[in-house]
A and B are shown apart, each in its own frame.
Chain A
Amino acid sequence: MPPPRKTHVLDQSQFDQLLAWLDDDREAAGRRYEQIRWRLITIFAARGCTTPEELADETIDRVARRVSDIANEYVGDKARYFFGVANNVHHEYLKQPAAAEIEAPLLDEREDKERVHDCLERCLSRLAVEDRAMLLRYFSQEKRAKAELHRAMADEMGISINTLRLRILRLKQKLQPCVERCLERADIF
């Protein structure tokens, strides 16, 4: 389904007002903005929408346009306001005719595995030795053996398996932008 029709393009002053409404500190407001955006995308994706990013941006745009009206009156968790607007955006989305679903091609049809491997190698080398070792060990087993390995790793490190997973997630979040930047560059030679 195509996203709801955009009625307005957000300008810089409206965006600034939105950030100021989210938090007095601009950096904290920026982080909050990213958090809310990710959560809205997840919500729309969980509802089966095929364009969750666009729907999330439309939601944020509409809230930004209303901030000047509600900033002095709205009381409560600001995220809930986004939720109400997101529901309206979703209802409009459902009313529009469904577009044909196009399955995104998977990795081996789109990407040069060699380049990804090389970029990953470069980015892994920038991690601390022990972080790199932990990450590669975490991914080293197949299927069922992996769960046992993760439990063993958590026991060895004296942490819960959830904490181990969180550490792995943080490392992956560090690797992700590095790999993306590397892939955007020209060939190594």
Chain B
Amino acid sequence: MAEDREQFSGNGSAVPDDVLRQYLLCVLDADTRLRLDERLLVDDEFAQRLSLAESELIDDYTGGRLNAADRTQFVRRFLVTDERRNALRLSTALNAFAESESAPRSVAAAAKESKPSWAESFATFFGFARRPGFAFAGAAAILLVVVGLIWLINRGAQQSQPRIATNPPENPAQQQPQTEPSPALAYSQPSPDVKPQPKGSPPERSVSPAVATLVLLPGALRSSGNMARIAVPRGEQDVVRFNLILENAGDGPYLAELANANGQTVAVKKDLKPHVNGQTKITFEIPARLLQNDDYQVKLQRKTDGKVESVGRYYFRALQE
């Protein structure tokens, strides 16, 4: 302690970080502590350093980096004000939040690595080495099925809405048959399940509003390079349809809250129910005019037995045409 005292006895001399921590944990000798008390009241720079040391101490506690003695002092002597207890709550929540942001991708990556490749599974299933004749016949059959599926998928893709919406063609005769004139308002009743119109049926109006569809996966990265994008149509009656893929489906009901990059809520959809169309998803629509050139997030929550739980967050960038 004598060495520590010498270090900060003069004007402007720096107080070591560990001395600041000892001060906060009430383990300094009385003389040293008294000197720091007086300095705290009159030295703004020192006060700022101590404020920082407080924050670091709290973060070290929540991060499990304090030794046993310091942990005891922290709980008994440091956590004596509401402000510090609130700061502890925030630090704890930040740790948990940061962990939850990174964990799903880590788990998904590990699961992906442990799975055998499709080639390995394919070879094992047909046992090429043991029964080449059977394997050849089986492979030919599989090939025929795959070609057929590709043909069917291509045919279907031509008739479905693109992920990146384009401007509706000016010639009404070229409009997609699945376009549905449903300018749903924000905060309104839940959107009905999407029912595509029969193929080849003419649109009910001569000019139908455009529906830009966006399929989103939960937890997509927020970095601008990887974010899903949608070109927002500009017609007054145009809508944007969201298909939120659910990783863990439950009955719901679900609530979707759309907010912009500033955290302002743009639209809220309540009482949403999941539906299965290849994948389990939540679908709803909002008027396209609600979206500006901005980054958005859709926060999806589910109410189960009266308890609200967060299901996932979906990010996208809206680009006005």
Contact = CB atoms under 8 A, between A and B. Distances in A.
Contact of B47 (A39, A50, A114, A137): A39
Interface in A113-145: 113-114, 116-118, 120-126, 129, 133, 135-140, 142-144
B262 A126 contact: yes
A111 B308 contact: no
A170 B76 CA distance: 27
Contacts of A103: 75-76
Contact of A107 (B40, B78, B92, B263): B92
Interface of A: 35-36, 38-43, 45-53, 77, 79-80, 82-83, 101, 103-104, 106-107, 111, 113-114, 116-118, 120-126, 129, 133, 135-140, 142-144, 146, 162, 165-166, 168-169, 172, 175-176, 179-180, 187-189
Contacts, number: 149
Given A52-B80, A172-B90, 13 more contacts: A45-B77, A45-B84, A47-B26, A48-B26, A111-B89, A126-B262, A129-B261, A135-B94, A138-B98, A143-B65, A176-B87, A180-B86, A188-B308
Given A169-B52, A169-B55, A120 B93 contact: yes
Interface of B: 23-24, 26, 28, 33, 36-38, 40-42, 47-48, 50-52, 54-56, 59, 63-65, 75-102, 222, 255, 259, 261-263, 295, 297, 299, 301, 303, 308-310
Given A114-B309, A169-B52, A189-B303, A179 B93 contact: yes
A48 B77 contact: yes
B64 A172 contact: no
Contacts of B48: 166
List of 4 A-B pairs having minimum Cβ-Cβ separation, nearest first: A126-B263, A139-B98, A125-B263, A79-B41
Contacts of A189: 255, 303, 308
18 contacts: A39-B47, A42-B54, A43-B41, A46-B28, A49-B80, A52-B81, A80-B38, A83-B41, A107-B88, A113-B96, A114-B308, A116-B93, A125-B263, A125-B297, A129-B222, A140-B98, A179-B90, A180-B86
B80 A50 contact: yes
Contacts of A126: 262-263
B80 A45 contact: yes
B63 A165 contact: no
A102 B308 CA distance: 33
A187 B309 CA distance: 12
Nearest to B78: A45
A139 to B, nearest CB: 4
A77 to B, nearest CB: 5
A142 B81 contact: no
A143 B63 contact: yes
Nearest to B224: A129
B165 to A, nearest CB: 24
Given A114-B309, A126-B263, A136-B97, A42 B40 contact: yes
A47 B63 contact: no
Interface centre among B47, B80, B222, B308 (most CB of A within 10 A): B80
Interface centre among B33, B90, B259 (most CB of A within 10 A): B90
Contacts of A121: 97, 299, 310
A83 B96 contact: no
A126 B299 CA distance: 14
A9 B301 CA distance: 49
A178 to B, nearest CB: 10
Contacts of A187: 308
Contacts of A142: 63-64
